[in-house]
Amino acid sequence: MVAKKLNLKDKYRALTRDLDWDYDYSDRKKAFPYEEFEGIKITDWSKWEDPFRLTMDAYWKYQAEKEKKLYAIFDAFSQNNGHLNVTDARYVNAIKVFLTGVSPLEYQAFQGYAHVGRQFGGAGARVACQMQSIDELRHVQTQVHAMSHYNKFFDGFQDWTHMHDRVWYLSVPKSFFDDARSAGPFEFLIAISFSFEYVLTNLLFVPFMSGAAHNGDMATCTFGFSAQSDEARHMTLGLEIIKFLLEQHEDNVPIVQKWIDKWFWRGTRLLAIVAMMMDYMLPNKVMSWKEAWEVYFEDAGGALFKDLARYGIRMPKFVETTAKEKEHISHQAWWIFYTHGHAAGFHTWIPSDEELDWLSEKYPDTFDKYYRPRWELAKEMEARGERFYTKALPQLCTTCQIPMGFTEMDNPTQIAYRSSDYEGEKYHFCSDGCKHIFDQEPEKYVQSWLPVHQIYQGNCGGANVEEVLRDYYKMNLGEDNMDFKGSSDEKRWNEWKRKGVA
Amino acid sequence: MSVVAITPDYKFEAKDRFENFHGNQIVYVGWDHHLMFCSAFAYPVPPATTFKELRDGVMQEAFEMHPEYSKVNWETATWLLDNKPFEPQLDKSLQEQGIGHKSLLRFQTPELKGYKNAGV
Amino acid sequence: MSKVYLALQDNDDSRYIVEAIIEDNQEATVINQPAMIRIESTGELVVRRSTVEEKIGRDWDVQELHLSLITLGGNVDEDEDQLRLSWNV
Ligand SMILES: [Fe+2]
Ligand SMILES: [Fe+2]
Ligand SMILES: [Zn+2]
């Protein structure tokens, strides 16, 4: 029993640091073999600060309380046929993207923190990583529970782990985490705790989840916010980690900066999917992607980097590009998926007239000029009964693995092409950022498992796209894929609404 | 620059080297300022394929969906091979004219401005 | 001066926490969004246990904030009596 008179700081010390031990009969370096190879210098682990000073007993107490609240809402949601209260059935496709693309990353985060939590010599860091690891496991579990309700009523939820490992566009999030987890433990922390949790997850979990609530999906909103209540702690940890590394040794500064540059860009590309979810997949809009980027990256991230300037850290490389891309990225991403709607495990659609007008209003400088015409063409083709599905496979970026559909920002009707030659092979990239990442570590990215090339190498089962989708990806063709219009999801939805089931 | 790894001699074979494609090479083909197609296409073709076979055969199915594709004048269209000006020879093979594995071919038709003149 | 912020789930506990924050931080701006409440302020933001306890009418542990917290921006300094967010610029 901890005596009542211990204050928070003392209690934290007693229950974390004081549980550590010295290595008197074994070589410390052997106990922590991953600690030095990245070049990071730690002179004093005791300087590690955990700002929330959460001890394990308090951790379990509060997490249990969060779970109770969350599961009460899940129960209410399903007892009340909550799926019938969402704005319209198109919305559910955003949740399919979430389950197949994001929830498996929670699991990867759980594995990643469990691993690095063993690798650090400091007890404070190990405890923080252990808690985060358990949090991330909770996130994937609660997300699966929440979405299992949708699986009873909608297509596309049935095989999410299998799909995550195989489906072409899911190689984007999968390879992001594979990249982080195959790095050393300190790079993993900068990648995930700092760049991902601190700089970027806000964009996924805050405005999008608020959007879920705005579309009547209380289950998703609540698991999102419940997860995000842990993320607030993860973010703070991310900030502390970076300050700790920068304060430990000046030699750490350029290494950390290099990782910030890399992981900021990796994260930016991953967020292209979230951008399209916000602008195109939420029938009721909360804010545009551009607005979310301004609030959660430009303002919040700007303040953060100003704060870090005293350590000699500057804004991430290519941040100027993102200031222009915020006007384009969601439109380009949704067009990639719309034109590949036959090969996606969720439905795609042409935005309604109202939605097109909302996009014009939110993107006055770009939407009518560059993107509305694409939708007019799509509408014309659909009206002729020839809904546009592209007929050949796309060129992919070697680094982010997204089809190379992003344009030059100063010439937005021209695809951006970048390339590098390495040991007699050509590699292609969607952007300066992705090229830069490859050029820094070509030995790593020559191993990129690019879905289009893998299909052509015969490693994805079938001889044609249909076989790959059906047999290798395990999509229910004609049910999971194609346009929302005419889908079974749409038919069932209209039937429920007609019958007034509630 | 190179990777910092705990494994000595961190080295792997390129996953997309030519030998893995069962006799095919990859050629990417993109039409500049025509974004109906979200990106360039990736085609697996034997290196002995002639340029004519690529252009009039392989490319046809996907590109002809564009309302302007039938108006392309191949006499005046210009090409870039791996970002350098290129004059294709129709009856020569890809290999013979330096179109290598994972080469990028782009063509330009400045008189065709895309759907609604919007570069689509 | 940069802005610090925090966001809370829009629930019954948060109502009192927000009231306390407004009382203790004259500069703070409250923004209501679907299912959430965002509070931002220039330079600094403090959540004080004593004020929250006054509003909520019971003992309140600063760490209970985690039950409703969605996100925050700023350096965190927490002890038994308060949670403070600030930037060093
Ligand atoms: Fe998480
Ligand atoms: Fe997290
Ligand atoms: Zn890329």
Q: How far apart are CA A390 and CA A344, in angstroms?
A: 12
A177: tokens are 């985490």
**Looking at the complex, does the CB of residue A237 fall below 8 Å from at least one CB of chain C?**
no
* Helix/strand number for chain C, H first, E second: 2, 7
- Is B3 among the domain residues? no
CA angle A193, A198, A204 (to 5 degrees): 105
Segments forming the whole domain that contains residue A206: 51-349+388-498
**Which CATH number does the domain housing residue C13 bear?**
3.90.56.10
pLDDT digits (tens, 9 = 90+) for A150-166: 999 999 999 999 999 99
Q: Which residue of A has its CA nearest to B15?
A: A447
Question: Which of C7, C69, C88 has its CB closest to that of A307?
Answer: C88
Contacts of A300 in chain C (CB under 8 A): 3, 5, 73
- Tell which phi-psi region holds residue B10, choosing left (phi > 0), alpha (psi between -120 and 50) or beta: beta
Portion of chain B with pLDDT greater than 90, in percent:
96
Would A29 be classed as within a structural domain?
Answer: no
Cβ–Cβ below 8 Å for A302 and C2: yes
* Size of the A and B interface in Cβ pairs below 8 Å: 157
Identify which of A77, A227, A205 has the alpha carbon closest to the alpha carbon of residue A148. A77
Residue B98 lies in a domain: yes
- SS3 of A89, please? coil
Domain that holds residue B68: 18-117
For residue A491, count CB atoms less than 10 angstroms from its CB and return exposed for 0-12, middle for 13-18, buried for 19 or more.
exposed
pLDDT digits (tens, 9 = 90+) for A231-270: 888 988 888 999 999 999 999 999 999 999 999 999 999 9
Please report whether residue B12 resides in a domain: no
Q: How many domains does chain B have?
A: 1
String of DSSP letters for A346-390: S-B-PPPHHHHHHHHHH-TTTIIIIIHHHHHHHHHHHHTT-----
Which residue carries 């194609």 as its tokens? Answer: A482
Residue B1 confidence (pLDDT)? 65
Of residues B104, B107, B91, the one with CA closest to residue B48: B91
- CATH label of the domain that carries residue A220: 1.10.620.20
CA–CA distance, A267 with A175 (Å, rounded to integer)? 12
Contacts of A192 (CB under 8 A, 6+ apart): A109, A112, A113, A180
| B48/B53 Cα distance (integer angstroms) | 10
Burial class (CB in 10 A: 0-12, 13-18, 19+), A176: buried
Q: Which residues of A touch B24 (CB under 8 A)?
A: 456
Closest approach of chain B CAs to the CA of A395, in angstroms? 5
Domain range for residue C47?
3-86
> What is the domain-level CATH number for residue B31?
3.10.20.560
If one counts the domains in chain A, the total is 1
Q: Both ends of chain A: CA-CA distance in Å?
A: 51
CA distance A5 to A363: 58
Looking up tokens 């405005």 gives: A207
Given CB atoms, is A190 within the 8 Å cutoff of chain B? no
Q: How far apart are CA A416 and CA A164, in angstroms?
A: 27
Handedness of CA A358, A361, A363, A368 (dihedral sign): positive
Q: How far apart are CA A267 and CA A399, in angstroms?
A: 12
Cα A357 from Cα A351, distance rounded (Å) = 9
- Residue B9 is assigned to a structural domain of this protein: no
Beta strand spans in B22-116 (E): 25-31, 41-45, 78-81, 84-86, 103-108
The Cα-based distances of C52 to A69, A496, B59, C15, C64 in angstroms read 21, 46, 68, 10, 11
H or E stretch covering C7: strand C3-9
Q: Tell me whether residue A25 is in a domain.
A: no
Cα angle vertex A161, ends A157, A163, to 5°? 75
* Residue ranges with CB less than 5 Å from ion ligand 3: A 397, 399-400, 430, 434
Note down pLDDT in tens along chain A; length 502 residues. Answer: 544 668 888 888 888 888 888 888 889 889 999 999 999 999 999 998 887 888 888 899 999 999 999 999 999 999 999 999 999 999 999 999 999 999 999 999 999 999 999 999 999 899 999 999 999 999 999 999 999 999 999 999 999 999 999 999 999 999 999 999 999 999 999 999 998 888 788 888 888 888 898 999 988 888 888 888 898 889 888 889 999 999 999 999 999 999 999 999 999 999 999 999 999 999 999 899 999 999 989 988 898 999 999 999 999 999 999 999 999 999 999 999 999 999 999 999 999 999 999 999 999 999 999 999 999 999 999 999 999 999 999 999 999 999 999 999 999 999 999 999 999 999 999 999 999 999 999 999 999 999 999 999 999 997 789 999 999 999 999 999 999 999 999 999 999 998 875 4
- Which tens digits make up the pLDDT trace of A391-431? 999 999 999 999 999 999 999 999 999 999 999 999 999 99
Query: Hey, which residues 355-414 in chain A have their CB within 8 Å of chain B?
Result: 369-370, 373-374, 376-377, 388, 390-396, 403-405, 407, 412-414
Q: Does some domain include residue B1?
A: no
Gap between the Cα atoms of A256 and A397, Å rounded: 25
Give the pLDDT of residue A218.
85
